[in-house]
Structure 1
Amino acid sequence: MIVRTPPTTASSGRGRGLLIAFEGGDGAGKSTQSRLLGQWLQEQGYAVLHTREPGGTTLGRTLRELVLHGEDGSVAPRAEALIFAADRAQHVATVVRPALERDEIVLTDRYLDSSVAYQGAARELGHEEVRDLSLWAVEGLVPDLTVLLDVSPEQGRERRGAVHDRLEREADDFHDRVRHGFRTLAADAPERYLVLDAGEGVDGLADAVRARVAGLLEARR
């Protein structure tokens, strides 16, 4: 689902767009923090595009349904990685890049790090192999900032409640590998990540995200 917030008059001429990704395990609160950041950016006069992976395009919504809610619940690991890469290629080509070219700030709930963590680490297909596949799909486009909301499997399960998709139903050891995959990515490129404890309060997390983004915006002026 894509939600576009139009810019106010004050937003004209503020420079090229930014891509900010929200990552973390299932139940980390990514959508909440993306929404709160978007509201704050809108108040500052910026044009904001909210989107997600998978499912940020018409094709993506079909792929999302197949891979997360398919009738037989069975998708081979390599097929899973390729489906997510296909969704990401379409998403970037038709939604993300055009918005960046319009100088919008794109906030995406998941991006390529999710594939590295879920398929590369948790499915054990290989960090570099899955990352290279996603980078090829997006022609090398990486976020200006990735907000990683670090959540334990136990916290994530409690937050999700009784409704689970095919990946959410995986055992805790799977979600432990996901968490380790995200942490490894952040440790490898700390300048591009903001790592936060998802167990902290919503308002405190939002303040930390705004502070980091404010610095990023100031540096771009």
Structure 2
Amino acid sequence: MKGRFISFEGTEGSGKTSVIKEVQKYFQNQGYTVLITREPGGIKISEKIRDIILDVDHIEMDARTEALLFAASRRQHLIEKVIPALKEGKIVLCDRFVDSSLVYQGIARNLGLEEVYSINKFAIESTLPDLTIFVDVRPEVGLKRVFNTPNREINRLDLEKLKFHQKIYQGYLDLITKYPKRIKKVNGEQPILDVADEAINLIKSII
């Protein structure tokens, strides 16, 4: 049995993490083995890189440095965790993958889509998700959630200006147009169980 690699994308505060948990619960109840992981992070080395990237004290970080760190974290996570799980036939639900870099660094940081993709192509080789689900939440709505949720970690990217987050949102919409077969959109501004149902139906279509 071949595994399935599903990535989830969205702006800050889109609710991806909550949706992923509901999706995991559903497919586990259907008898599938489901692995949840995240980027940057998911394994020891990548979590340490995550701490460097998202630390609010690292405001001087150069955009290219940021892009390279994300790619390095992604490579180790892929080789050590994602690919072995796929070989074992698991459904892998990943909170962010390469599209985050394309949008955050390529578009919002103005490094260029192709430039950032070339860095990541070196990192991921030919591995791309079977399906990418964009949890569609307007940036104003997502940021309100971020700053109104008790005990939520506030990271360096959360603190960017609204214009930065608007560029990210538009970037995702542009990627959906560019890769319509792989990237699908769900309405993230409805109740969480309804968002999860939309995501579940999309995943069912590929398994």
State TM-score, norm by structure 2: 0.94
Q: How does 1:49-64 map to 2 (within 5 A)?
A: 49-64=35-50
Does residue 176 (structure 1) correspond to residue 166 (structure 2)? The answer is yes
Q: Deviations over 1:85-113 (max 9, x none)?
A: 00000010100000000111100000000
Which residue is 2:14 aligned to?
Answer: 28
Q: Which amino acid aligns with 2:131?
A: L
Task: Tell me what 1:160 maps to.
Answer: 146
Structure 1 range deviating more: 206-215 or 165-174: 206-215
Instruction: Report the counterpart of residue 192 of structure 1 in structure 2.
Output: 182
- State the SS of the aligned residue for 2:160: coil
Deviation at 1:168, TM superposition (A): 0.8
Cα distance in 2 between the residues matched to 1:20 and 1:186: 15
Q: Displacement of 1:161 after TM fit? A: 1.7
SS in 2 for 1:190: coil
- Runs (4+) of structure 1 moved beyond 4 Å? none
Q: Which residue of 1 aligns with 2:53?
A: 67
The answer (yes or no) to whether the contact 2:6–2:91 under 8 Å persists in 1 is yes
- Aligned partners of 1:153, 1:190: CA distance in 2, in Å? 22
Deviation at 1:73, TM superposition (A): 2.8
CA distance in 1, matches of 2:137, 2:197: 18
Counterpart amino acid of residue 209 in structure 1: A
Which whole-Å deviations, capped at 9, do the CAs of 1:35-93 have from their partners, x for residues lacking one? Answer: 11111110111111100000111111111111111534321000000000000000101
- Give the CA RMSD over aligned residues: 1.2
- Between the aligned partners of 1:81 and 1:47, the Cα distance in structure 2 is 32
CA distance in 2, matches of 1:33, 1:92: 22
Amino acid at match of 1:210: I
Aligned to 1:105: 91
- Letter matched to residue 129 of structure 2: P
Q: Distance in 2 between matches of 1:68 and 1:61?
A: 10
Q: Is the counterpart of residue 78 in structure 1 residue 67 in structure 2?
A: no
Structure 1 residue 121, shift from structure 2 partner: 0.4
Task: Give the unaligned 5+ runs of structure 1.
Answer: 1-14
What residue number does 1:143 align with? 129
- Give the Cα–Cα distance (whole angstroms) in 2 for the partners of residues 36 and 157 of structure 1: 22
- The answer to whether structure 1 residue 91 and structure 2 residue 77 are counterparts is yes
Per-residue CA distance 1:186-218 (angstroms, 9 max, x = gap): 11111112202221221211111111111211x
Q: Report the residue type matching 1:67 in the other structure.
A: I
Aligned identity (percent) is 38
Give the 3-state SS of the residue equivalent to 1:22 in structure 2: strand
Q: Distance in 2 between matches of 1:70 and 1:205?
A: 31
Q: How many residues are matched?
A: 203
Query: Which residue of the partner structure matches residue 6 of structure 1?
Result: none
